[in-house]
């Protein structure tokens, strides 16, 4: 039973690699195959995407996450056909270029299934299976692991940020189990920036360690987000220092994966924070 207060001990196989949770904080590099990425780094050219992925791996990325539909506030929905048209060439090129595991950032089972066939190793679902429970059955059939995120958009706030995140993630875990999915293959994301006000995002980060009791590894994606821009009065491309501060705090809270745009710089932040928190040499 998950969410019973147990901590993660067993590693998870993602692609060709076993991730030993608690040994270090792993860095996930972001590639947005979209023309409207909030961070202004969208890339639709497959050759450029492959080059970017190689640079990320050289900079310290242990995983690459590729998405083809923006999830920024007010984003424009695209059809599954358009999402796959953006994703296919980029995914195949990145798969040919790097050996690290690749996750596909999608909320649609049809897109995820095609992505798995094209070489993706895992799913990253910003709706935590709540909008598409059939994703759990797909994951169960394919044996792929997944990142399930709590998305607060459109949900009523109870007055307690962590209580809402915990409830949402427990709902996702229940959906996974009902779909026949082995929950030991799941990573949980509290959804920093998805439906929260600035003060609530800061509270979520401040209390992040409380989510360790869910018994699954945690992923956090604070990179370049608007909360950092609001606090520091910085545009999207000027938020590296603010991102670095949030990542150091996340490592201190015991997070297992950080999802970032600026891999080389943030990998150094994470390594330094890990040296303090987890001990050095590793």
Do the beta carbons of residue 111 and residue 87 sit within 8 Å? yes
**pTM (2 d.p.):** 0.93
Do the beta carbons of residue 78 and residue 36 sit within 8 Å? no
Domain CATH number, residue 216: 3.20.20.20
Residue 7, in any domain of the structure: no
Residue 96's CB is within 10 A of a number of other CB atoms, namely 11
Q: How far apart are CA 21 and CA 11, in angstroms?
A: 6
Residue 282, in any domain of the structure: no
pLDDT tens, position by position, 147-204: 999 999 999 999 999 999 999 999 999 999 999 999 999 999 999 999 999 999 999 9
Domain count, the chain: 1
Mean pLDDT on 59-77: 84
Q: How confident is the model at residue 20 (pLDDT cuts 50, 70, 90)?
A: very high
261: containing domain: 12-276
Residue 4, in any domain of the structure: no
Q: How confident is the model at residue 71 (pLDDT cuts 50, 70, 90)?
A: low
**Dihedral (CA of 197, 192, 243, 280) sign:** positive
Residue 85, in any domain of the structure: yes
Measuring CA to CA, how many Å separate 106 from each of 40, 147, 148, 277? 19, 11, 11, 33
Residue 83, in any domain of the structure: yes
**DSSP 8-class letter at 76:** P
Residue 5, in any domain of the structure: no
Do the beta carbons of residue 247 and residue 260 sit within 8 Å? yes
Helix (H, G, I), strand (E, B) or coil at 20: coil
Residue 183, in any domain of the structure: yes
Annotated catalytic residues are: 225, 259
Residue 202, in any domain of the structure: yes
pLDDT, position 100: 98
């Amino acid at each position: 039973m998950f969410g019973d207060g147990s901590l993660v001990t067993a590693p998870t196989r993602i692609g060709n690699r076993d991730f030993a949770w608690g040994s270090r904080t792993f860095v996930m590099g972001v590639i947005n195959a979209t023309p409207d990425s909030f961070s202004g780094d969208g890339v639709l050219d497959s050759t450029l995407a492959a080059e970017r992925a190689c640079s990320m791996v050289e900079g310290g990325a242990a995983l690459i996450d590729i998405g083809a539909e923006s999830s920024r506030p007010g984003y424009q929905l695209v059809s599954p056909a358009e999402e796959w048209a953006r994703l296919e060439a980029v995914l195949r090129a990145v798969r040919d270029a790097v050996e690290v595991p690749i996750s596909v950032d999608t909320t649609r089972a049809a897109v995820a299934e095609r992505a798995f066939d094209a070489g993706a190793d895992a799913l990253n679902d910003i709706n935590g299976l709540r909008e598409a429970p059939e994703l759990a059955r797909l994951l169960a059939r394919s044996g792929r692991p997944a990142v399930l995120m709590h998305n607060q958009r459109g949900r009523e706030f109870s007055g307690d940020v962590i209580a809402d995140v915990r409830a949402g993630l427990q709902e996702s875990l229940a959906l996974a189990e009902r779909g026949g999915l082995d929950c030991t293959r799941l990573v949980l994301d509290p959804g920093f920036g998805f439906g929260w006000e600035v003060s609530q995002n800061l509270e979520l980060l401040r209390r992040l360690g409380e989510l360790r009791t869910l018994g699954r590894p945690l992923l956090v994606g604070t990179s370049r987000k608007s909360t950092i821009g609001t606090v520091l009065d910085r545009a999207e491309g000027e938020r590296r220092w603010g991102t670095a501060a949030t990542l150091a705090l996340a490592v201190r809270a015991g997070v297992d994966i950080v999802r970032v745009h600026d891999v080389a710089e943030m990998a150094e932040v994470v390594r330094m924070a890990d040296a303090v928190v987890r001990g050095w040499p590793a």
